[in-house]
């Protein structure tokens, strides 16, 4: 459940509601911690609650500019909130940072990641960020084409 793309809200809504409740409780006691906010943003992403994604990620924005996991989620929230140009900027930065993730960062940045299979995990993450960036760039292109057709 921590990774929203591995679970289906429609099949397990009660699990998502429970996760949301516990993440919000954790955030209440540790508001500066990024990981419960990032994980909760997956829950909101799965529920298509993009405004909630932005709201839960925004308070730690200034401290997370070198965190590719955060930037990826923030970029997804922006893209799905129709803020495509900003999404491309954030996903581009996430993509750049993801290229440099090594075993030590994988192990330290997110304690839920296993150092034993870090290479596969990093490759999966890099692929996801790259695909998110491609989607945002495509949406930006489509929006630009629409603007040209309306002039």
pLDDT digits (tens, 9 = 90+) for 85-116: 999 999 999 999 999 988 777 776 656 666 67
Which long-range contacts (C-beta less than 8 Å, at least 24 apart) are formed by 105-108?
Answer: none
The model's pTM is: 0.85
The answer, yes or no, to whether residue 48 has pLDDT greater than 90, is yes
pLDDT in tens, 14-29: 778 888 999 999 999 9
pLDDT category of residue 41 using cuts at 50, 70 and 90: very high
């Amino acid at each position: 459940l921590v990774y929203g793309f591995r679970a289906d809200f429609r099949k397990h809504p009660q699990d998502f509601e429970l996760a949301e409740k516990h993440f919000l409780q954790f955030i209440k006691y540790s508001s500066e911690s990024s990981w419960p906010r990032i994980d909760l943003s997956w829950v909101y992403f799965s529920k298509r609650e993009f405004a909630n994604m932005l709201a839960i990620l925004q308070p730690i924005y200034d401290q997370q500019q070198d965190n590719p996991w955060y930037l990826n989620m923030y970029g997804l929230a922006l893209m799905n909130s129709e803020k495509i140009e900003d999404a491309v900027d954030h996903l581009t930065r996430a993509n750049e940072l993801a290229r440099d993730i090594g075993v030590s960062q994988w192990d330290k940045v997110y304690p839920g990641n296993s150092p034993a299979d870090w290479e596969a995990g990093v490759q999966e993450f890099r692929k996801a960020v790259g695909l998110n960036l491609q989607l945002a760039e495509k949406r930006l292109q489509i929006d630009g084409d629409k603007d040209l057709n309306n002039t």
